[in-house]
Chains A and B, each alone.
Chain A
Amino acid sequence: MLHAASASALRERVVSGELRAVDIARSALDQIVGADARIGSFLHVDGEGALAQAAAVDRARAAGETLGPLAGVPIALKDNLCVRGVPATCASKILEGWIAPYDATVVERLRAAGAVIVGKTNMDEFAMGSSNETSAYKLVHNPWDLSRAPGGSSGGSAASVAAGMAPLSLGSDTGGSVRQPAAFCGLVALKPTYGRVSRFGLIAFASSLDQIGPFARDVRDCAIVSEVISGRDPRDATSVDLPVGSYVSELGRDVRGLRVGVVRSTLAEGCEPGVVSAIDASIDTLRRLGCEIVDVALPTAEHAVSAYYIVAPAECSSNLARFDGMRYGPRVESPDLLETYGKTRALFGREVRRRIMLGTYVLSAGYYDAFYAKAQKARTLISRDYAAAFERCDVVLTPTAPSVAFGLGAKTKNPLEMYLADIFTLPPSLAGLPAISVPCGLSDGLPVGLQLTAKAFDEGTLFRVASAFEHATDHHAHRAPGFATASVGGAA
């Protein structure tokens, strides 16, 4: 079955002529038709576009052209990424029917690499949520257990890959939105350093935190696609002009002597026992591989949740102001302008409205210093904690999430409880650091994720450690039971 193969394997078979890109695309589209009714991971499937891109790859091969690193590889994109001529709703009613008139930079890069975009994936509305339940359109079911959440906010992107509908997908990560769903769905996902991947064409949630990150079933695929989408973009002033380097060349490298920092204090608190034991086993694995395990402390990280839920809503309150019904998207017309604004913006869902109000409040005159300014200071302190930690270690190891995938509806009543699902992913986000989540075992049959965080722009080290860890274990080979139709491997 083509849909279960890795991206690197598919690309190899396209290059060798063993497979046509068009057939791979058809296979992916068939799998979406067959499986997505149960999962709900797609908001829009672009069959026509996908087949056209695949045909172009086949023609390029026939013409003897050099094929890109993702030639013929199907990829699903989170619905907050702009693809020319394709809807982009952010899973919100306020963008219902809006067709993006331009390609995001990552989309241009994917196209240039030969990737085949199969569709747009479900998400928490405007990426605000940790379970994909704030989507205005439909739920996403975790392929490992359909009664459970896939995580969020990039739940659709994660579930589509876990259910074999595409070997790769892109999500966006503001406070853990690729890492936590990767952990819940047994995938590898990278949140790149802030500034590493262009945000041009990513519909903003919180601009100072947002980064686009990929999902894959193994570390190699994640490295390949990360390399493709990374690098300076003149259209994003926050993108950084530093060489990306070869992530793929980090794969399989020795990790002996590499120092892995473990934050002991946070581990015990609020983590499920199954997560703790999987992490403990992972630490043992890395030690066996020759890594030096050191204790590090991130004392201010405990303020990450509070700081994040000030900074991110503040930015979103401003970022989402443009959805006013004046230029695009639906408008709920009223004779009075203010009323038109109010009624139109009532199309936002509860969680989005909650955060807009929170953000508006913390930026208001008289409250700015007490909230926003203080949260920014907390960010600085968290960054300093990491700087101190990285004097003692090369990567910081934590669980990705304190639990395995929770049940759909289990946390929707209590937003604060939902926010705590991000306690491990928020500190690297606030510090702008790269972090990867890799499968590190099962707890009661559900995947557990291991998060590794590195210094800014040191994604290479993350791939090196993640790759060594993957080679030493078989966690990544576990597949969602109902969707494990073929054996997969890095180089199948």
Chain B
Amino acid sequence: MTTRYEAVIGLEVHGQLHTKTKMFCGCSTAYGLPPNTAICPVCLGLPGALPVPNRQAIALAVRAGLALGCTVRQSSRFARKNYYYPDLSKGYQISQFDLPLNEKGHLDITTSAGTKRVGITRIHVEEDAAKNLHGAGAGTDTLVDFNRAGTPLIEIVGEPDLRSAEEAEAYLRALRDVLMFTGVNDGNLEEGSFRCDANVSIRPVGQEKFGTRCELKNINSFKFVRKAIEFEIARQEALVSSGGKVVQETRTWSSTQEKTLSLRSKEEAQDYRYFADPDLPPLVVDDAWLAEIRVSVPEPVVARRERWQRELGLTAYDAQVLTSHPRIAEYFEAASASLERALGGKLSRDKAGKRVANFIQAEALRVVSTSGLDASFPCSAERIAELLALVEDETINGKIAKDVFVDMVATGKAPKDIVAQKGLAQVKDSSAIEQTVRDVVAKHPKELASFKAGKAAVKGFFVGQIMRALKGANPALVNDVLERVLAEG
């Protein structure tokens, strides 16, 4: 009988705190600056320089903790993690160790198997290292860019509650959503502002005790996370099934070879000699500050999706698409609220919401571009509402609205102005429509005769002629009038 195994996975995620300046100095955190231009004595670790915590970074870290259901430790401590590497300017990294800022949180994830609550052990604050640019110098020289040194990070340590690569990916996606929607992190995997390490082990199903784990380092896309974990589970299963043993080690994912490779074994693991950083007093988040931060935590993204389905008439799919980015979500909410207001209750809330959702998904998203936590929209949300209000009060029809939107994007003009300048307003006055209908019918006796003879399709010909003559009119109204006039004949 073959033993069945289950995977045990815990993720450690490093997220860059979305601040203008670094964790312990005033240097810029902007990505992509020329090497070594955002540096100062503090982040370079010059003799005599001292760190001073960035208040905004702490506030964001607390916000992340609150959004993930953590208990915030109101007096936490910075600790030094000591090791040598050329990208580490002080010979130690300022992090937190025995007294982290946030503890005991959770995150709910949804997979094909349903919804599951995943524990979060801790979320602590730390600084990033610089970046080694191997081979950037003469020959094989490594050069170091210290722009990244001292960038504020949170490390989110998850409980080993995940049982599959699918769950791991769902956890990462959900975590990224939470961090982006709280403004804590820009979710940018390519620029490395959201990075993940995975601890993976296997054990026979039913066994309580964890197996020996391997740590997978630096897997920088959702796709690779899934692949790396899948590969690692399979590797460990094959190893154990054939009588081998998993060795505790650090492995890395090679995207070119599509497999995990050993980096270093446990024996080479370092003793980081953690101790409380004497340069930094206890990090105190007093009641007033905590309350202030609590108020700044926005509605959770999951709750928002549910509310939109409940109140704004969206499907689960709509809600998912419109929460693909926090700015898009805000845009949608602003536009639907604006449309609801503009119509003064003539349209129920869920209908207004659904119309806006449909229009944004079908038309607007094509011309929205996002970059980190920023997004650029072709027009304001209020303009979208104005446009849809014109459809709702039958000034234009849905098809014309699409053309008007194209014009709005191109010219930046208000939808009302475009409709007026181009004479796109449809005729809503039924007496005016009736006159035109009668004229058109009178001008086409042959077609009228064939209609009378039972050729119903001729009605479409009349509609076309009438619409052209009216330069736009409410199609339903035209149809009604035409039917009445044709019946008279």
* A residues neighboring B (CB under 8 Å): 80-82, 88, 90, 95, 98, 100-102, 104, 199-204, 206-208, 234-238, 314-315, 317-318, 320-324, 326-328, 337, 341, 360, 363-365, 368, 372
CA distance A98 to B274 in the complex (A): 29
B50 within 8 A of A: yes
Contact (A327, B44) CB under 8 Å given A238-B281, A318-B82, A321-B90: yes
* Contact partners of B92 in chain A: CB under 8 A: 318, 321
* Sample of 20 more A-B contacts, CB < 8 Å, known A238-B281, A322-B45: A101-B41, A101-B46, A199-B50, A200-B50, A203-B48, A207-B278, A235-B50, A317-B273, A318-B82, A321-B84, A322-B89, A322-B90, A323-B47, A337-B86, A341-B84, A363-B274, A364-B271, A365-B273, A368-B273, A372-B275
Contact (A328, B46) CB under 8 Å given A207-B278, A237-B279, A322-B90: yes
A341 to chain B: closest residue by CB? B84
A208→B144 contact, CB < 8 A: no
B368 within 8 A of A: no
Ordered by A's residue number, 14 sampled pairs between the chains whose C-beta atoms are within 8 Å are A101-B46, A104-B48, A199-B50, A207-B279, A235-B50, A236-B52, A237-B53, A237-B279, A238-B280, A318-B275, A321-B92, A322-B45, A368-B275, A372-B275
* Contact partners of B80 in chain A: CB under 8 A: 318
Which residue of A90, A234, A321, A368 contacts B91 across the interface (Cβ within 8 Å)? A321
Interface members, chain B 64-118 (any A CB < 8 Å):
80, 82, 84, 86, 89-92
**B285 CB → nearest A CB, Å:** 15
CA distance A104 to B50 in the complex (A): 11
B211 within 8 A of A: no
Interface members, chain B 256-292 (any A CB < 8 Å):
271, 273-275, 278-281
Q: What is the interface of chain B mostly: helix, strand, loop, or mixed? A: loop
A88 to chain B: closest residue by CB? B47
B50→A363 contact, CB < 8 A: no
CA distance A364 to B238 in the complex (A): 37
**A421 CB → nearest B CB, Å:** 24
* Contact partners of A88 in chain B: CB under 8 A: 47-48
B51 within 8 A of A: yes
* Contact partners of A372 in chain B: CB under 8 A: 275
* Contact partners of A324 in chain B: CB under 8 A: 84, 86, 91
Contact (A322, B281) CB under 8 Å given A101-B41, A235-B52, A337-B86: no
B49 within 8 A of A: yes
A363 to chain B: closest residue by CB? B273
* Contact partners of A360 in chain B: CB under 8 A: 273
CA distance A364 to B84 in the complex (A): 15
B25 to chain A: closest residue by CB? A235
Which residue of A237, A320, A341, A365 contacts B50 across the interface (Cβ within 8 Å)? A237
10 cross-chain pairs, A with B, having the tightest CB-CB distances, nearest first: A321-B91, A208-B278, A207-B278, A363-B273, A203-B47, A201-B48, A82-B48, A203-B48, A322-B45, A322-B90
A82→B47 contact, CB < 8 A: yes
B82→A363 contact, CB < 8 A: yes
Contact (A326, B86) CB under 8 Å given A238-B281, A372-B275: yes
CA distance A315 to B47 in the complex (A): 14
B280 to chain A: closest residue by CB? A237
A373 to chain B: closest residue by CB? B275
A236→B89 contact, CB < 8 A: no
* Contact partners of A317 in chain B: CB under 8 A: 82, 273
* Contact partners of B91 in chain A: CB under 8 A: 318, 320-324
CA distance A234 to B274 in the complex (A): 26
Count of chain B residues with a beta carbon within 8 Å of a chain A beta carbon: 28
B90 to chain A: closest residue by CB? A322
Which residue of B45, B273, B274 contacts A327 across the interface (Cβ within 8 Å)? B45
* Contact partners of A203 in chain B: CB under 8 A: 47-48
CA distance A384 to B274 in the complex (A): 26
Which residue of B47, B86, B89, B279 contacts A100 across the interface (Cβ within 8 Å)? B47
Q: What is the interface of chain A mostly: helix, strand, loop, or mixed? A: loop
CA distance A207 to B92 in the complex (A): 14
CA distance A337 to B281 in the complex (A): 34
Interface members, chain B 330-378 (any A CB < 8 Å):
none
A238→B279 contact, CB < 8 A: yes
**B24 CB → nearest A CB, Å:** 9
* Contact partners of B51 in chain A: CB under 8 A: 237
**A376 CB → nearest B CB, Å:** 9
* Contact partners of A341 in chain B: CB under 8 A: 84
CA distance A337 to B41 in the complex (A): 24
CA distance A314 to B90 in the complex (A): 15
**B137 CB → nearest A CB, Å:** 13
CA distance A235 to B45 in the complex (A): 14
A326 to chain B: closest residue by CB? B86
CA distance A88 to B50 in the complex (A): 17
**B84 CB → nearest A CB, Å:** 6
* Contact partners of A238 in chain B: CB under 8 A: 278-281
**A343 CB → nearest B CB, Å:** 13
**B267 CB → nearest A CB, Å:** 14
**B483 CB → nearest A CB, Å:** 80
**B55 CB → nearest A CB, Å:** 11
**A339 CB → nearest B CB, Å:** 12
B278→A322 contact, CB < 8 A: no
CA distance A200 to B51 in the complex (A): 9
**B112 CB → nearest A CB, Å:** 43
**A477 CB → nearest B CB, Å:** 36
* Contact partners of B52 in chain A: CB under 8 A: 234-237
* Contact partners of A82 in chain B: CB under 8 A: 47-48
Which residue of A95, A200, A320, A365 contacts B49 across the interface (Cβ within 8 Å)? A200
**A248 CB → nearest B CB, Å:** 29
B142 to chain A: closest residue by CB? A337
CA distance A100 to B46 in the complex (A): 9
Contact (A363, B48) CB under 8 Å given A238-B281, A318-B91: no
Contact (A102, B41) CB under 8 Å given A318-B275, A326-B86, A363-B273: yes
* Contact partners of B273 in chain A: CB under 8 A: 317-318, 360, 363-365, 368
* Contact partners of B45 in chain A: CB under 8 A: 322, 327
B48→A236 contact, CB < 8 A: no
* Contact partners of B47 in chain A: CB under 8 A: 82, 88, 90, 95, 98, 100, 203-204, 322-323, 328
Residue among B47, B49, B86 with the most chain A CB within 10 A?
Answer: B47
CA distance A368 to B271 in the complex (A): 11
* Contact partners of A199 in chain B: CB under 8 A: 50
CA distance A328 to B41 in the complex (A): 12
* Contact partners of B281 in chain A: CB under 8 A: 237-238
* Contact partners of A200 in chain B: CB under 8 A: 48-50
**B286 CB → nearest A CB, Å:** 15
**A405 CB → nearest B CB, Å:** 29
CA distance A150 to B82 in the complex (A): 35
CA distance A101 to B271 in the complex (A): 33
B85 to chain A: closest residue by CB? A337
B50→A314 contact, CB < 8 A: no
* Contact partners of A323 in chain B: CB under 8 A: 47, 91
**B276 CB → nearest A CB, Å:** 9
CA distance A363 to B281 in the complex (A): 20
A326→B144 contact, CB < 8 A: yes
* Contact partners of A202 in chain B: CB under 8 A: 48
CA distance A341 to B46 in the complex (A): 17
B51 to chain A: closest residue by CB? A237
A321 to chain B: closest residue by CB? B91
* Contact partners of A208 in chain B: CB under 8 A: 278
**A211 CB → nearest B CB, Å:** 13
* Contact partners of B274 in chain A: CB under 8 A: 363
* Contact partners of B271 in chain A: CB under 8 A: 364-365
**B252 CB → nearest A CB, Å:** 19
B80 to chain A: closest residue by CB? A318
**A314 CB → nearest B CB, Å:** 7
A204→B48 contact, CB < 8 A: yes
**A125 CB → nearest B CB, Å:** 13
**A79 CB → nearest B CB, Å:** 11
* Contact partners of B275 in chain A: CB under 8 A: 314, 318, 363, 368, 372
* Contact partners of A363 in chain B: CB under 8 A: 82, 273-275
